[in-house]
Amino acid sequence: MPESEDKEKLFQNVNVRHKESLTRLERFAVWVTDRIGTMGFFFLIFAWTMLWFLWNTIGPKEFRFDPFPAFALWLFISNMLQLFFLPLIMVGQNLQSRHAELRAEHDFEINQKAEREIEAISAKLGEQKKILSEVLDKLDRR
């Protein structure tokens, strides 16, 4: 690969490249994964569950809509949420994993280039050290 293409590839933003490669549905899956995998979402579900439980156990009897102890409606709704969110989260995690692999590959390429440059600099420093030693030897002989 010519050096100009090599430099261009190294300076591309992998995050932007990955984001641009996603379809609308893939972006939606990543968005869902990012939102559901937070403590805020956990507390939202926890609060909703507690309100549901409290309303249907100690709320006014004529307004209780999901009787204790079965909570059949709550079980149905929570199962539906799980059925819809689980595949979306898995797709989102796969996409995030693909993104992480792209970043790791990019980092590896940068590290390889840096290693080649360090070796070249080290070789030049070795040459300079040799030249300086020769100059010092000539000065000492005078």
pLDDT beyond 90 at 6: no
Could you identify the residue written with the tokens 């070249």? 120
pLDDT at 21: 86
Alpha helices for the chain (secondary structure H): 3-11, 14-21, 24-36, 39-58, 72-141
Could you identify the residue written with the tokens 């929570």? 78
Longest dimension (CA), the chain: 111
Residue 14's closest CA among 103, 91, 82?
103
pLDDT beyond 80 at 105: yes
Residue 84, token pair as written in the block: 């819809």
pLDDT at 140: 87
pLDDT at 11: 64
Q: Region 75-92: what's the mean pLDDT?
A: 91
CB 42 within 8 A of CB 91: no
Per-residue pLDDT of 10-65, as tens digits, reads 567 888 888 888 899 889 888 988 898 899 999 999 999 999 999 999 989 999 99
Residue 42, φ and ψ in degrees, nearest 5: -60, -45
pLDDT at 129: 96
pLDDT at 17: 84
CB 30 within 8 A of CB 90: no
Q: Where are the domains of the chain?
A: 3-100
